[in-house]
Amino acid sequence: MTVTGIETGVRQFQEDGFMVVRGLFARDEIDALCGQFTALHAGGPVPGHFEPSAPGGSTDPLRRYPRVMQPHEINELALRFLLDARLREVLETLLGEEVLAAQSMFYFKPPGARGQALHQDNFYLRVEPGTCVAAWVACDEIDRDNGGLEVVPGTHRMDLFCPELADSQVSFAREYVAPPPGLTATPVDMAPGDVLFFNGSLVHGSQPNRTAERFRRSFIGHYVGASTERIGHYYRTLSMSGARVPLPESEGAGPCGTEFAPHGPH
């Protein structure tokens, strides 16, 4: 990314709460990452990180292909992605200081999967003071049909909202934040290797994957500034060199998205 491009992106991040860096990762890097998670799925459960239903069990696509939580703790390539120097350069520009990695996730989002209702990430991380920043790496062609992200520009300047109960028919997570009056959700279409950076207070979410055969895979990292004083106990912060940097715990935190019970027989 050029200096001019970074400056333009930073202005958008400050103005709207998000920015997209196109092609930050090469297609072969994304293919290698997806290959690791395809192998992980074939290998079966990893307790505490990835627990799909048994073959022939649940009819819920998200039980057969659940998200992988903290994959950097069980996969070396996922760790390298989380701590990648290209992400670090953008994140430190956005935050204005050194950053710590707090979490990783991988979403398969298979055909027919529910989305995640509009929400704010810092509702879960409970970073104090300030907020977190997400780096959302597209691993497929991502659009409105297969459940791409939607963001509500400007909400990053607002406090955390008290969520309502989401519709379990369209969202796997229970929390829903309605767009404030006058603001609307804007879809963000992406190609493999693009990275969406967004403020932890930005309201965002996704619709169901309504396609018959297209996955919407993505790798997500959450990051905080090195000046962060507290974070939820679930988030085991690392320096960008990979060293553990324990932080005092904040209250009320938990994994991103409190899940509804699985759909269908299981």
Query: What are the tens digits of pLDDT across the range 22-55?
Result: 999 999 999 999 999 999 999 989 999 999 987 7
Cβ atoms within 10 Å, residue 10: 16
Q: What pLDDT, on the 0 to 100 scale, is given for residue 85? A: 98
Domain that holds residue 39: 3-45+72-189+202-239
User: Does 92 map to a domain?
Assistant: yes
Q: Please give the pLDDT value at position 18.
A: 98
Task: Collect the ranges in the chain with pLDDT lower than 50.
Answer: 264-266
pLDDT at 262: 61
Q: Could you give the residue ranges of the DSSP H alpha helices within the chain?
A: 3-16, 27-43, 61-64, 76-82, 85-95, 122-125
Q: Is 62 part of a structural domain of the chain?
A: no
Bond prior to 180 in cis (omega within 30° of 0): no
Q: Residue 149 domain-assigned?
A: yes
pLDDT of residue 5: 64
Whole-prediction pTM value?
0.94
* 248 occurs within a structural domain: no
In a domain, 133, yes or no: yes
Q: Is 99 inside a domain boundary?
A: yes
Structural domain includes residue 94:
yes
**Sign of the alpha-carbon dihedral angle for 229, 231, 236, 240:** negative
- Give the CATH number of the domain where residue 229 resides: 2.60.120.620
| pLDDT at site 264 | 46
Domain total in the chain: 1
Please tell me whether residue 152 adopts helix, strand or coil conformation: coil
| 65 occurs within a structural domain | no
In angstroms, what CA-CA distances link 80 with 19, 26, 237, 240, 243? 22, 14, 15, 10, 13
